[in-house]
Structure 1
Amino acid sequence: MTSLPAGAAVPPVPTPTPAPAPSGGAAQRVVVVGGGPGGYEAALVARRSGADVTLVERTGLGGAAVLTDVVPSKTLIATAEWMTVAERAGELGIRREGPDHGHVVDLARVNARVVELARAQSDDVHARLAAEGVRLVAGTGRLDGPSRVLVTPQASDGAPGGPVEVLEADVVLVSTGATPRTLPEAMPDGERILTWTQLYGLTVLPERLVVVGSGVTGAEFAGAYNALGSDVVLVSSRDHVLPGEDADAAAVIEEVFAGRGMTVLGRSRAVAAERTGDGVRVTLADGRVVEGTHCLMAVGSVPSTAEMGLVEAGVRLGPHGHVEVDRVSRTSARGVYAAGDCTGVLPLASVAAMQGRIAMAHALGGAVAPLDLGTVAATIFTAPEIATVGASERSLTAAGVRFAQVSLPLARNPRAKMLGIHEGFVKIFAAQGSGIVLGGVVVAPRAGELVYPLTVAVSQRLTVDDLAGTPTVYPSLSGSVAEAARVLRGQLG
């Protein structure tokens, strides 16, 4: 998650007024290009507002978030989590005896289930949109000016099929997402050198997986495959894994990785990866070579905005191809909005969905609150998870904000003791004087669930007194949130 001070705004771009309603009282014509979270949520809002809505998607409803990114990756990680839980069995008094009582990963079945669940979720999105009356078109959309979309139909085999359809629009929303970034010297082949979208085709667990990139994607998959039983080497060009995250949280994850036998190569930039028959060879900038059976390239993503007619339609793109938008998702072209990873605002499915909803509410004349990234919670699905919300320690310090903080180890929590949890903490930042909660970090199993009280506190401008005075279940992991607030209250006086 990109850390921003509470209340931080997306930098504005020059924007026109929303497109006017067509004459004669006819329903507004909305065309959505891209069926990911930003696109399908926008379509639902527009349809419920009475608009005539057409959604164009070429690969499947739900987009990459459902089919190749969030849903499948988190399903795989959920499977790997069972292996990390099993590691604590001996400590909890559970004994496994004999060679046949261990856990063996059937990766073919794991990945088959991953794909099945992703497709089922895509089908659910399709059914929901159809039930709401959204017209669904399988094809590739391209803008022909700000008020017209040209659609090349998609045949059942994925190839273009049929004549181009012209869709006239009063409002256009672009939500085409992003694709994995590739390097010329490490081109994926889908078998040994892979992007994260290609991992689900594996039927045999990689014996030795080299993961290039220690950001969120790299760390999540490195941790998952390490838990599943692969020997994992994580190549990081930075000093530590997860360089953009809370330093204490990243340190916990790196320590856990090392404790589970993972090799982490810091300050080691990969410059090439090549296939060597039944293996791969990854070359580092300093000349070292790392051998493995497979290589995952997790070096970022690029927005899917090329050859869409955006610039010709008056839509301004950033230097890396992202669509520039303001806080209500308007672009620089009248009547054209954008949402999701193609905007580069914050690559989270939840943010894409919010952008899409905000865009349609604004375009169709509804009351709308602009996007506020300062209240967005994000989770990194390592084991333990890292969840953050609001301002980070780094951003508060850089902004010169007077704040106090507390970090409470999870190991002192009674519920954590019962579950055999040793790693993790709850950290809270609060404003000096007012005691308003500015942000927080949770490192724990299911941290994405545990961060919710802090998300409410940040979004509603609650104080540490409010948190400290709210009863919690005993024993519970959430008790650590209240306890941290009580400790912090003492520091604030």
Structure 2
Amino acid sequence: MSRIVIIGGGPGGYEAALVAAQLDADVTLVEADGPGGACVLTDCVPSKTFIASSEVMTGYRHNDRFGIRSGGVEATVDAVAVNERVKKLALAQSADIQDKLVKVGVDVVRGRARLGEDTLGHTHQVLIEPEGAGAYAVDASTVLLATGATPRVLPSAQPDGERILDWRQVYDLTELPSHLIVIGSGVTGAEFASAYLAMGVNVTLVSSRERVMPHEDADAAMAIERVFRERGMTILSKARADSVVNTGDGVLVTLADGRTVIGSHALMAVGAIPNTASLGLREYGVDVADGGYVTVDRVSRTNVPGIYAAGDCTGVLPLASVAAMQGRIAVWHAMGEAVAPLRLRTVSANVFTDPELATVGLSQNDVDAGKVPARQVMLPLTGNARAKMADLRDGFVKLFCRPATGQIVGGVVVAPKASELILPITMAIENNLTVDQLAHTITIYPSLSGSIAEAARQLMQHELQ
């Protein structure tokens, strides 16, 4: 029987454990925080639950334009209740994962682990340190590293859990900030800025780049930034935070150009660093890239046979869905199953702002840089009947296709629930569909998804000209 040790219980780890158990391996999963890891307990699941509460506030505030009157009663946010719900759902999800793992026979160990001594043979020694018990060693035929990442900390802006916060500490607040300064305008910063703004908080977003979410589609990022500004968010572009100080009753943020910003709280969203420093990787001979990321190939192998890695500790793409697939691929490959290498071109991603931003496949930057020839169309949602009914004034669908064949190679959606609308485009790319095939697909009328088929029809018309 194969002995597999998985270090880290996030999506990359627990999904791999489930697959390994189904293939009759002897599986040990070591996780310090609990099944689901940081993704479930402090990161992805809590943040999206928090955002769900903000969406309720957004709908409440804009009822008047639908002819719904609230009787002059203003909705308020109970921060304690919101955060209790966040934590409760996270723990419930973790418990569900624990039940699944135990049911299929995975040995779940609460604690930490690292690679042991490099010994001869076809096994790898793993040193396991259970919480509250003595350490012991296990010899495994396969080791999967899935230890995730931790919020990056600036020396001049140390989170204290009171006024200066990282994104794992916001759920301990007993009241909403009166003025939240968000440092960092990437995906995490933009999501929290959007959510707190919807809850009625005065938000200042500090962006070191020209626009928010600089690594996302430019048209999409600018559309969302426009919404932010229209709703009252202050965005400081080309501004870099030099320091953040807790003044006792607030925070003082000093920018690189000498300007200062005063708020009640600061949220640090300046990236993450991989949790690989204490795994004994270099001593064992595992290649580690700059920044501490574990180097892997498309089937999750490191340079050491029998040692694999998955998820945020690899730096491949910081998405729970990618981590889970990397973990599954690692186990399938290790156990001799047929496996297709990871294909990032078919991976869809979503930013949970309001509206959402979803992307898949070829990007606008790829086209503009001439890396890949493509035709494109961008269709605003303002002409969509369902969007008019819902009074959606922002958003669009963008499609990319091959110039000669019309094969769909990329897409962008900015809309409420773009995370759901991106699926048909993802499926089209995965299955090599053309704009003709998508254009001939009958969609429900009225529906937002109808704009995806309409965009395909417009590309088909261009093809015929």
Secondary structure of the residue aligned to 1:420 is coil
Letter in 1 for 2:339: V
Deviation track 1:417-474 (CA, whole Å, cap 9, x = no partner) reads 1111110000000010100001000000000000100000111110001110001111
Describe the SS at the equivalent of 1:179: strand
**More deviation, 257-266/76-85:** 76-85
Aligned partner of 1:51 among 1, 9, 25: 25
Q: 1:20 — aligned with what? A: none
Match of 2:243 among 252, 261, 272: 272
Q: Which residue of 2 aligns with 1:351?
A: 322
Q: Deviations over 1:1-50 (max 9, x none)?
A: xxxxxxxxxxxxxxxxxxxxxxxxxx000000000000001111111111
Report the number of matched residues: 459
Aligned residue number for residue 117 of structure 1: 89
Return the alpha-carbon distance in structure 2 between the equivalents of residues 385 and 491 of structure 1: 28
1:149 to 102, 117, 126: 126
Moved over 3 A (4+): none
Partner residue in 2 for 1:86 = 60
Q: Which residue number in structure 2 is paired with residue 132 of structure 1?
A: 104
Residue 105 of structure 1 aligns with which residue?
77
Structure 1 residues 4-23: aligned runs within 5 Å: none
396-405 or 31-40, larger mean C-alpha shift = 396-405
Question: CA–CA distance in 2 between the matches of 1:145 and 1:76?
Answer: 43
Give the CA deviation at 1:145.
Answer: 3.8
Q: In 2, Cα distance between the equivalents of 1:139 and 1:87?
A: 45
Residue 1 (structure 2) pairs with residue 37 (structure 1) = no
Identify which of 374, 381, 388 aligns with 1:403.
Answer: 374
**2:222 maps to which residue?**
251
SS of the aligned residue for 1:311 comes to helix
Does the alignment pair 1:67 with 2:41? yes
Distance in structure 2 (CA, Å) of the matches to 1:410 and 1:322: 40
| Letter of the 2:293 counterpart | H
Contact 1:404 1:492 in 2 (8 A): no
Separation (CA, whole Å) in 1 of partners of 2:425 and 2:409: 9
Return the letter of the residue paired with 1:148: Q
SS at match of 1:362: helix
Which sections of structure 2, spanning at least 5 residues, go unmatched?
Answer: 119-123
Deviation at 1:399, TM superposition (A): 4.2
Question: What is the alpha-carbon root mean square deviation over aligned residues?
Answer: 0.8
- Report the equivalent of 2:272: 301
Structure 2 residue aligned with 1:311, among 282, 306, 317? 282
Following TM superposition, by how much is the alpha carbon of 1:124 offset from its aligned partner in structure 2, in angstroms? 0.3
Correspondence for 1:384 among 343, 355, 362: 355
383, 387, 398: which one pairs with 1:416?
387
| Aligned-partner SS, 1:302 | strand
- Give per-residue Cα distances to partners, 1:273-321, cap 9 Å, x unaligned: 0000110000000000000000000000000001211111111001100
Query: Structure 2: how far apart are the matches of 1:90 and 1:370?
Result: 51
Shift of 1:102: 1.3
Distance between the aligned counterparts of 1:393 and 1:148, measured in 2? Answer: 46
Cα drift, residue 339 of structure 1? 0.2
Q: Report the more deviating stretch, 390-399 or 473-482.
A: 390-399
**Aligned partners of 1:426, 1:276: CA distance in 2, in Å?**
45
Q: Which amino acid aligns with 2:441?
A: T
Deviation at 1:96, TM superposition (A): 2.1
User: Shift of the alpha carbon at 1:97?
Assistant: 2.1
Match of 2:457 in 1: 486
Kindly tell me: are residues 462 and 145 of structure 1, through their superposed partners in 2, closer, same or farther at Cα, counting changes over 3 Å? farther
Q: Pick one of 444, 447, 461 that aligns with 2:415.
A: 444
Match of 1:9 in 2: none
- The Cα shift of 1:85 comes to 1.8
Equivalent residue, structure 2, for 1:240: 211
Equivalent-residue separation in structure 2 for 1:292 and 1:70 (angstroms): 26
Q: Distance in 1 between matches of 2:34 and 2:452?
A: 40
2:253 is paired with a residue of what secondary structure? strand
Q: 1:333 to 1:399 in 2, by over 3 A?
A: farther
TM norm structure 2: 0.98
Map 1:142-221 onto structure 2 (within 5 A). Answer: 142-145=114-117, 147-154=124-131, 161-221=132-192
Q: Using the alignment, how far apart are the partners of 1:401 and 1:119 within structure 2?
A: 45
Secondary structure class of the residue paired with 1:185: coil
Tell me the CA shift for residue 77 of structure 1. Answer: 0.5
Which secondary structure state, in structure 2, belongs to the residue aligned with residue 186 of structure 1? coil
SS at 1:326 equivalent: coil
SS of aligned partner of 1:40: helix
**Cα distance in 1, alignment partners of residues 147 and 117 from structure 2:** 17
CA distance in 2, matches of 1:318, 1:330: 14
Q: Determine what percentage of the aligned residue pairs are the same residue.
A: 58
What is the deviation of 1:162? 2.1
Q: Indicate whether 1:342 and 2:321 are aligned.
A: no
Say whether the 8 Å CA contact 1:88–1:420 is kept in structure 2. no
Would you say the 8 A contact 1:145–1:309 is kept in 2? no
C-alpha deviations, 1:130-169, integer Å up to 9, x for none? Answer: 0000011111101114601111111xxxxxx221121110
Q: Deviations over 1:374-396 (max 9, x none)?
A: 00000000000000000101113
